[in-house]
Amino acid sequence: MDLLQSWIVVGVPGLVFAAGLFVGRSRTRALIGYGVLLALMGYFFTVPGGGLSAAAVGLVGVLFVATGRGTNLDTRYEEHHEQRRQYTVARDET
């Protein structure tokens, strides 16, 4: 399998699957997503001429780490509905 076929058959579906695992703030899914990205990097290292592709997949992983996915930032993150401490509509007390 050449490099283009590898991207079509394995790379693109693998990246879409990994990106789907990073949706939300689940630490477990993020760790599985990093595992998928690591497996993709390993796969592209075995494809002839795939070193640059492996680096591109690694860069995606670095971007996810830079945004704090799967780290301690996820445990302290509050969704918009969790930040609200009281109702947003003020009552008229007259």
Which residue ranges make up each domain of the chain?
3-73
State how far the Cα of 47 lies from the Cα of 2, in Å rounded to an integer: 7
Per-residue pLDDT tens over the stretch 59-74: 999 998 888 777 766 6
State how far the Cα of 60 lies from the Cα of 88, in Å rounded to an integer: 38
Per-residue pLDDT tens over the stretch 10-51: 999 999 999 999 887 788 888 999 999 999 999 999 999 999
